[in-house]
Amino acid sequence: MVEFPQSIDDLPTSMPRWVGQPIPRVEDRSLLTGQTEFVDNITLPGMLHCAIVRSPYAHARIKSVDVSAAAKVPGVVAIVTGEDARRETRPIYTAPPGWGGNCLAADKVRFAGEPVAALAATSRYIAEDAAELIEVEYEPLEVVTDAEASVREGAPLLFEERGTNVMYQRKFVWGDVDAAFAAADHVVTERFRWHRVGANPMETFGVVSQWDPIEGTLTCRGSFQVQGFSATGAAATFGIPLNKVRFIAQPHGGSFGGKGGQRGTTITTMLSRKSGGRPVKWIEDRIEYLSAGGGQAWDRHYEASLALTKDGRMTGLRVRLLDDLGGSAEGYGAIGAAKPLASFTGCYTIEAAEYDLTIAATNKLPCSAYRGMGPPPHNMVLEQLVDIAARELRVDPAELRRRNFIPKDAFPYVIPSGNEYDSGDYEATLDAALALADYAGLRARQDEARRDGRLFGIGVVSTIEPGVFNSNVYSLVGFPGGTAQPEGVTLGIDLFGTITARVGFAHEGQGQHTVISQIVADYFGVEPDRVRVVVQDSMNAPPGYGPGGSRLGVAVSAATLGAADRLKDKLIRVAAKLMEANPAEVELMDGKLRIKGTTGAEMPIGQVAATMLTRSDLLPDDMEPNPQATYVWTAPGRTMPDESGRVKSYLTAANACHVVAVEIDRQTGEVRIDKYAIADDCGTRLNPAIVAGMTQGGLAQGVAAALLEEYVYDENGQLLTSTFMDYLLPTIYEVPIPDKTEIVTPSPFTPLGAKGMGEAAIHTAPAAIVSAINDALAPFGLRATETPVTPNRLWKLLQQAKG
Amino acid sequence: MKPPPFEYGVAESVGEAVALLQRYDGEARVLAGGQSLVPLLNMRLARPAALIDLNRVRELDFVRASGNTITIGAMTRQRSVERSPDVQRQNALLHAATQNIGHPQIRNRGTMGGSLAHAHPASEYQAAAVALDARFTLAGPSGTRSVDAAEFFVTYLTTAIEPDEVLTEIAWPALSPGAGWSLIEVARRHGDFALAGVAATLTPDARGRCAEARIALFGVGPTALRARGAERTLTGAALEGGVFDEAAVSAEREIDEPPSDVHASGEYRRHLVGVLTRRALREAAARAGVATSTGVA
Ligand SMILES: Cc1cc2nc3c(=O)[nH]c(=O)nc-3n(C[C@H](O)[C@H](O)[C@H](O)COP(=O)(O)OP(=O)(O)OC[C@H]3O[C@@H](n4cnc5c(N)ncnc54)[C@H](O)[C@@H]3O)c2cc1C
């Protein structure tokens, strides 16, 4: 039985602890100097370069593909087409299942940019020149780019064999929703349109695939977010045993959900096979990433209602979502529609809720996962309803929220959709944020601004960030999910007494290797930068998943502690034998094994480990000469969904309150953020500098979703925002550096009390900014219900104010 | 995103550049800072047979102030223009225009000549050139010629430069003594091309009336254009509230159908022209030391 410390105070150290300190990240030196093996730095002997031929049409039948001219170009080694893909591979796995095709389209294309052929050549230049010579004849089909149109009778069908564009439909009802609405004194209803946004890491996806024709094995090095999952997918796609597939996740410049790379990995593997086993590299370029990669998510049409009593108690929530998933279900974007179940009713004690969910296919890029995984739009909708209600009830929006918060003594608290929140003090977070922002002062400034005819608004929004994902909730939309979400760490001490941690996920920028180093440092009495964290490939790593769904900080610290406990037990048994003591009398403290309650008798861990490795004659009977231990952690107590879809999914519930003030230029519709204050609670902060970094990054993406980013398609399904000139990422000028403060309610469910917080401010910021804008517009009775709130949209709205 | 094959030639002088251009018979493009051209190549939207690199033509890298003109070599980096004390002293509008181009990284590479030759309709340099009547010197096989801004900018991304010509220098008249100026724009993000913008100068006479008004609107048509009607409205008028509104209304009407794109409708752009013209004139008047009645802009 492994014992986990209950809090950071239980770690076996008498020194100032490393855990909880904002120490610089151990990863940064190699990442920032570029002295690390990013995938594009890899050159293997005989390596070829891939270029992909993509459909210019959003919906078309493929009549013919002629590769003869390309094949004649000197330097071209292999060419593959949709016919090859159909012969050699299975369709890409999708969720919901059965809504996709092969990595190269053979019969028809369903979005502009869909791959139809690919080739490998001795340089990327030659590959791109030759790719231009591949001639594809298309028969264009009618295009549907709007989900509301695509679910209508008579719409052009993307998958004719399915007879509909509705990929998924289910109405979840939890509690007596009809009764709650029938008894309500107030019902507020609004429609919202959240336009497509998505992940844009600094580095796009890239992969080098190599097929070994003798052994029938596959090795892929790439910027995989989750290498084990990708390896499993590749084995299934090629119908080969999983033990013949090795995936190596290279360190990479961010992911945020969009680095599955299924098509690129499959295509390069086919090319490697066809070229007799030469490695084939494909680095997705930025236009490919934006128009045909993993960077699009959350294209949503909402209609939602909130029921309240006359004293402002929220009693029921109805959300109808039409989710536009694009041209297939290959990007796992659908799980973004399932995850809101983990925090459906936000911070509030709403007892009855309904979720009417339709997922539709359209001729646009298939949606992928994106940081936050679906709740950010949901939170925007719920929080706008709360604000609308506050206005209708003439209650301060902060006050209305306060009245409905789950009280701090009600935890663990089960929400209508079945998830259980671990702990929290939402009122404390709200109060801290209000104080930090000087809420009263902001309201006074608002009064003054209104007197001057200026549009000044304040948003106050509290949200939950579900942490430590579990794929059980994703199984509702057809993702292969169970209740186990393993994460393993192996710890070992070598002959020199130095400690190595082995994990199965690469650097992506979040800093989990630092967290491991901090925990090991406290546990075994060394400096964090003396701990080496080594990334194992998918064949060698212990079972594990990797980063995603705000899980890894918690999962990996738990796994590290489990492995440390097992290793400590071994060291204690050996030390007890050497010190001629009872193991029960020996303890680990400050890196030494010592007899409890005595001074003098102690052995450093390195000495004990070295003894294990060199002197079997001194070891206890049955003890292996192996100063290593592995622990594979999974969140305890998870369940499969019940018949109404209720499921205990995410283990932790972090909470944040954002207070933001904006001023709108009444004539141009430009929005300027005047003040931004954040109070958040993610339980124990294992490394506050990392928490601050994650919050700032999430805020950038949240500001962008509220004000800037949008993938725009024309009616022919052509992406109009295929470069960073038009897809507007925020820069340092657009993202505020917020004032921040913290509340700490440790999680009772995780070792050390930390809660998942890797998505952070993206859950809250879009809602808070839209709230502030709508607060500014309130005197005109106007509200923005479409994101991003661009100057053009806001100006159009303000036209109505002028009558 | 790799360019199609092209040949590459390095020119050390304007003469060499012109000779190389001639050799490729109109199929070559000159390479300046590469900030606009290289993306076009990589996206395969431009397919020149050859690139003639001007980066070693030292004679085109200068800022020369004489009397009431500043002459700037086409290969002068935008960052050098921005830092030039002569420019700051003689031509605050040009200085402001430079600061509004992209980000320092872009300005470190991007050249004045490249920006003007590229002729993006939302370019601040184009707006300043149109507002101030800058003159352009072009060198070709039969010597040099000089054209003014009205002639130089033909339409969207098109100038009067012939395929075998090189833009060598631009002469910028100094702002008149006592003139006030303004360059304002609405862009989605800091450093983006403007959705709409206005560059303006106002020169008051001794009695505070408008002796000369120059207004260029940019980002709202195929080239930057002078709002001549608005300028006429202002000339001779007392520089205060009402006339700015009149000029703004006039400017809004003077433009043809402005472009619509993902960031702004034509209708919104037209509206911005009015708002920004009013604001620019107020700011220019204030800089010229003319007190104007304020109010919500
Ligand atoms: C992110 C970003 C933001 C930007 N924002 C702005 C902005 O806000 N405002 C703005 O005005 N610009 C902006 N730009 C464009 C920038 O100003 C470019 O530097 C400029 O357009 C091109 O200058 P260049 O020296 O790089 O020319 P290049 O890209 O090398 O050349 C551009 C074109 O001009 C031709 N050319 C260049 N020099 C000569 C010459 N001497 N004679 C004849 N033809 C020549 C080339 O053949 C080519 O066709 C931005 C660019 C980027 C990448």
A265 shares its domain with A132: yes
What is the per-residue pLDDT for B297? 39
What is the per-residue pLDDT for B296? 39
Cβ-defined contact of B275 to A667 (cutoff 8 Å): yes
Q: Does A526 fall in a domain? A: yes
Give the residue on B whose Cα is nearest the Cα of A720.
B262
C-beta of B37 in contact with ligand 1 (< 6 A): yes
Relative to the CA of B74, which ligand 1 atom is closest?
41
Mean pLDDT, residues B29-42 taken together: 97
Does the beta carbon of A780 lie under 8 angstroms from any beta carbon of chain B?
Answer: no
- B197 backbone dihedrals φ, ψ, rounded to 5°: -155, 165
Q: Does A187 fall in a domain? A: no
Cβ-defined contact of A728 to B262 (cutoff 8 Å): no
The strand pairing partners of A109, in sequence order, are A60
Q: Could you report the per-residue pLDDT of A528-578, keeping only the tens digit for each? A: 989 999 999 999 999 999 999 999 999 999 999 999 999 999 999 999 999
Burial of A612 (0-12, 13-18, 19+ CB in 10 A): buried
Cβ-defined contact of B263 to A730 (cutoff 8 Å): no
3-state secondary structure of B148: strand
Alpha-carbon gap: A587 to the closest alpha carbon of chain B (Å): 58
What residue numbers bound the domain in which A528 lies?
A: 8-36+486-633
Cα B163 from Cα A605, distance rounded (Å): 76
A111 shares its domain with A58: yes
Report the percent of chain A where pLDDT is more than 90: 95
Nearest to B199 by CA among B115, B279, B112: B279
User: Is pLDDT at A406 greater than 60 in this prediction?
Assistant: yes
Distance B117 CA to ligand 1 centre (A): 7
Q: Does A478 fall in a domain? A: no
A604 shares its domain with A681: no
Task: Indicate the angle between helix axes A375-393 and A765-777, nearest 10 degrees.
Answer: 30
DSSP category for residue A312: -
3-state secondary structure of A787: strand
Nearest to A785 by CA among A774, A801, A799: A774
User: Is pLDDT at B71 greater than 80 in this prediction?
Assistant: yes
What's the Cα-to-Cα distance from B94 to each of A133, B98, B148, B182, B217, rounded to whole Å?
A: 47, 6, 17, 10, 15
Q: Write the single-letter amino acid at B66.
A: S
What's the Cα-to-Cα distance from B268 to each of A712, B82, B252, rounded to whole Å?
A: 18, 31, 11
User: Is pLDDT at A67 greater than 60 in this prediction?
Assistant: yes
Tell how strand B166-173 and strand B69-73 pair up: antiparallel
Does the beta carbon of A413 lie under 8 angstroms from any beta carbon of chain B?
Answer: no
Mean pLDDT, residues A450-469 taken together: 97
What's the Cα-to-Cα distance from A326 to each of A93, A145, A196, A338, A361, rounded to whole Å?
A: 15, 8, 10, 17, 5
A435 shares its domain with A567: no
Name the CA radius of gyration of chain A, rounded.
28
Cα A319 from Cα B223, distance rounded (Å): 48
Q: Does A158 fall in a domain? A: no
Give the residue on B whose Cα is nearest the Cα of A732.
B190
Cα A291 from Cα A204, distance rounded (Å): 12
A735 shares its domain with A789: yes
Q: Which of A592, A608, A633 is the last residue of a domain?
A: A633
Does the beta carbon of A451 lie under 8 angstroms from any beta carbon of chain B?
Answer: no
Mean pLDDT, residues A450-456 taken together: 97
Whole-prediction pTM: 0.97
Q: Could you report the per-residue pLDDT of A313-357, keeping only the tens digit for each? A: 999 999 999 999 999 999 999 999 999 999 999 999 999 999 999
**In A, which residues are within 8 Å of B193 by CB distance?**
725
Asked if A459 and A659 touch (Cβ cutoff 8 Å), the reply is: yes
Does the beta carbon of B271 lie under 8 angstroms from any beta carbon of chain A?
Answer: yes
User: What is the number of domains present in chain A?
Assistant: 3
Asked if B65 and B22 touch (Cβ cutoff 8 Å), the reply is: no
Which residue's C-alpha comes closest to atom 33 of ligand 1? Answer: B118
Tell how strand B63-66 and strand B158-159 pair up: unpaired
Strands in A166-259 per DSSP E = 166-174, 186-194, 206-212, 217-222, 245-249
User: Is pLDDT at A790 greater than 60 in this prediction?
Assistant: yes
Mean pLDDT, residues A371-376 taken together: 97
Alpha helix (H) ranges present in B37-147? 37-42, 78-83, 85-90, 92-99, 104-109, 112-118, 124-132
- Chain centre to alpha carbon of residue A95: 17
Tell how strand A280-283 and strand A48-54 pair up: parallel
CATH number at residue A61: 3.90.1170.50
Mean pLDDT, residues A191-214 taken together: 97
Nearest to A560 by CA among A600, A521, A520: A520
Q: Could you report the per-residue pLDDT of A251-272, keeping only the tens digit for each? A: 998 999 989 899 999 999 999 9
User: Is pLDDT at A123 greater than 80 in this prediction?
Assistant: yes
Task: Indicate the angle between helix axes A262-274 and A227-238, nearest 10 degrees.
Answer: 50
Cα end-to-end span (Å), chain B: 45
Cβ-defined contact of A728 to B189 (cutoff 8 Å): yes
Q: Which of B5, B192, B263 sits opposite A792 (nearest CB)?
A: B263
A321 shares its domain with A240: no
Residue of A792, A794, A795 to mutate when probing chain B, most B C-beta within 10 A: A792
Asked if A641 and A418 touch (Cβ cutoff 8 Å), the reply is: yes
ipTM of this predicted structure:
0.95
Q: Write the single-letter amino acid at A396.
A: D
pLDDT band at A598 (very low <50, low <70, confident <90, very high): confident
Give the residue on A whose Cα is nearest the Cα of B269.
A792
Name the one residue in this structure whose structure tokens are 């993938």.
A711
Q: Does A532 fall in a domain? A: yes
Mean pLDDT, residues A390-402 taken together: 98
Q: Which of A132, A287, A730 sits opposite B1 (nearest CB)?
A: A287
> Chain-wide mean pLDDT for chain A?
96
User: Is pLDDT at B294 greater than 70 in this prediction?
Assistant: no
Consecutive H or E run containing A392 = helix A375-393
Asked if A640 and A647 touch (Cβ cutoff 8 Å), the reply is: yes
A657 shares its domain with A793: yes
Count CB-CB contacts under 10 A for residue A611: 20
Nearest to A279 by CA among A612, A110, A47: A47
Tell how strand A186-194 and strand A671-681 pair up: unpaired
A426 shares its domain with A309: yes
CATH number at residue A617: 3.30.365.10
Q: Does A410 fall in a domain? A: no
A617 shares its domain with A644: no
Alpha helix (H) ranges present in A275-374? 286-292, 335-338
pLDDT band at A802 (very low <50, low <70, confident <90, very high): low
Alpha-carbon gap: B274 to the closest alpha carbon of chain A (Å): 10
pLDDT band at A597 (very low <50, low <70, confident <90, very high): confident
Q: Could you report the per-residue pLDDT of B93-120, keeping only the tens digit for each? A: 999 999 999 999 999 999 999 999 999 9
The strand pairing partners of A358, in sequence order, are A169, A322
Q: Which residue has the higher pLDDT, A34 or B46?
A: B46
Report the percent of chain B where pLDDT is more than 70: 98
Distance B85 CA to ligand 1 centre (A): 23
Q: Does A161 fall in a domain? A: no
What is the per-residue pLDDT for B291? 65
Cα A748 from Cα A752, distance rounded (Å): 9
Token output for B276? 């920004």
Q: Could you report the per-residue pLDDT of B186-229, keeping only the tens digit for each? A: 999 999 999 999 999 999 999 889 999 999 999 999 999 999 99
Mean pLDDT, residues A492-520 taken together: 95
C-beta of B6 in contact with ligand 1 (< 6 A): no
User: Is pLDDT at B293 greater than 80 in this prediction?
Assistant: no
Q: Which of A633, A648, A664 is the last residue of a domain?
A: A633
User: Is pLDDT at A72 greater than 90 in this prediction?
Assistant: yes
Cβ-defined contact of A128 to B296 (cutoff 8 Å): no
Count CB-CB contacts under 10 A for residue A537: 18
What's the Cα-to-Cα distance from A230 to each of A92, A234, A479, rounded to whole Å?
A: 11, 6, 14
Does the beta carbon of A449 lie under 8 angstroms from any beta carbon of chain B?
Answer: no
- A19 backbone dihedrals φ, ψ, rounded to 5°: -60, 135
A521 shares its domain with A575: yes
Cα B232 from Cα B214, distance rounded (Å): 9
Task: Indicate the angle between helix axes A426-437 and A397-404, nearest 10 degrees.
Answer: 160
A659 shares its domain with A607: no
A231 shares its domain with A91: yes
User: Is pLDDT at A449 greater than 80 in this prediction?
Assistant: yes
Q: Could you report the per-residue pLDDT of A629-685, keeping only the tens digit for each? A: 999 999 999 999 999 999 999 999 999 999 999 999 999 999 999 999 999 999 999
Q: Does A466 fall in a domain? A: yes
